[in-house]
Amino acid sequence: MGEINIKMLALELNLSAATVSRALRDSYEISSETKARVIEMAKKLNYEPNPFASSLRQQKSKTIAVIVPAIANNFFSLAINGIEEVARARDYHVLIYQTHENSEIERSFLMRLSSGRVDGILISLASEEVDKRQLKEVSEKLPVVFFDRVHDDIEGVKITTDDYTSAYNAVQHLIENGCKKIGYLMALNSLSTGEKRLQGYLDALKNNGFPYQPDLIITNSGTVEQNYSLVRNFIAEQKPDGILSSIEDLAMPCYYACKDLKLTIPDDLKLISFSNLAHAELLNPSLTTINQPAFEIGVEAAGILFKIFNNRRYAFNETITLKSNLIKRESSMRAE
C-alpha cells in the first residue's frame, strides 16, 4: 500500500482531506467523534503524519530552545546538559530560556519563539498558571516536547519521572525510620508533576494508618525570604518529626530553620527532598534525596524532538516515565 498520506486516509474515511488534516491537528472545528475516527484509522493504517513538512522545506534555524523554570538548579542544568549533548551531535545550537517560574515570562518566550526563531521547543513548565491555549497554538506551529514539569491536560509528548512512587517511597522510608508526624512542602501545585508527588505523600500516610492533617501541608510562597519564614514558622508551630520537600528551594530553608530553632537533623526532624541537589552528600548532615535521572531526561526529550524533525515518529499524546532513585543519607537516618 506504500506510504500512507492524508488523501488516502480521507478516501478510506469518506471525508475531505482538509477535514482529516484538521482532525489530525486536533482543530476545534472538528467534532471529537470525527477526530476519534480519524485517529483510529490513522493508527490502523500506520499513518505517519508530517506536520512540519512545510517548515522543513524552508531553511532551518538549526537551533532548538529549552525553556526551564530556573537554571540555578542541578536537575535542570543536568537535563540541559543532556539536551545539549544530543543537539551537538546533530550540529544544533541550544538556546536556554529561564522563566523564573513566571507564566507571564513563559508566555512571552513562547510567543516570540513561535514566529520561527527555532526549529523546536523543549519545555519544563513554570509552576504558575499554564496558558493551555497558547501552548496548543505554538505546538501546532512547531514541535514541542515537555519534560519533568508537565500538565496532563495539555496534549503532546511528555518525559516525566515516577513522581507518585518516588514520593510514596520517601514517606514510607520516613515512617520506617520512626517518623509519626510528617510534613509536606509543596510546590508545582498547578502541575501534574506536583499533584502526583502530593498524592504519593497522601497515599503513603493513609496506607500506614496516619490521619489526614491539612496543617502538615504547606505551599511555597515566592521569594527566598518568604519561603524561609514559611518553613521556619511551620516547623516551630507544627513540630513535625519528618518532612518531605517537593523542591530543594524548600528543603534548604529547613536546614537554616533547624539551626535557628536549635533542632537537630535527623534526631529532631528527618528530611528528604526532591531532587538532584549538587553536593547533597557534603551538607551537614548529608541530605537524603530523590534523584531524578536528569541527564537521561534531557537526552530522551531531545532525542524525541529530533525524531519528530526527521518525521520518524509523531505521537499525539504520549508520556514516557523514567525512574527516580531514593538516595538515603544522614538526614533521614533512624536514631541509634
Residues near a second copy, by CB under 8 A = 70-72, 74, 77-78, 80-81, 84, 88, 93-98, 100, 105, 108-109, 112, 117, 252, 255-256, 278-279, 281-286
**Least distance (Å) between residue 141 CB and a second copy:** 18
Distances in Å between the Cα of 320 and the Cα atoms of 57, 258, 301, 309, 314 are 30, 38, 9, 18, 14
Q: What are the cell numbers at 251?
A: 528543603
**Least distance (Å) between residue 3 CB and a second copy:** 35
Considering the complex, state which of residue 68 and residue 174 has its C-beta at the smaller distance from a second copy: 68
Find residue 55's DSSP bridge partners: none
Considering the complex, state which of residue 74 and residue 114 has its C-beta at the smaller distance from a second copy: 74
Considering the complex, state which of residue 127 and residue 192 has its C-beta at the smaller distance from a second copy: 127
**Least distance (Å) between residue 284 CB and a second copy:** 3
**Least distance (Å) between residue 45 CB and a second copy:** 41
Long-range contacts of 83-87 (CB under 8 A, 24+ apart): 83/122, 83/298, 83/299, 83/301, 83/302, 84/298, 85/298, 85/299, 85/302, 86/298, 86/299, 86/302, 86/303, 86/306, 87/302
Considering the complex, state which of residue 282 and residue 335 has its C-beta at the smaller distance from a second copy: 282
**Least distance (Å) between residue 270 CB and a second copy:** 16
Considering the complex, state which of residue 193 and residue 286 has its C-beta at the smaller distance from a second copy: 286
**Least distance (Å) between residue 248 CB and a second copy:** 9
With cell 537537630, the residue in question is 264
Considering the complex, state which of residue 74 and residue 192 has its C-beta at the smaller distance from a second copy: 74
3-state secondary structure 151-220: CCCCCCEEEEECHHHHHHHHHHHHHHCCCCCEEEEECCCCCHHHHHHHHHHHHHHHHCCCCCCHHHEEEC
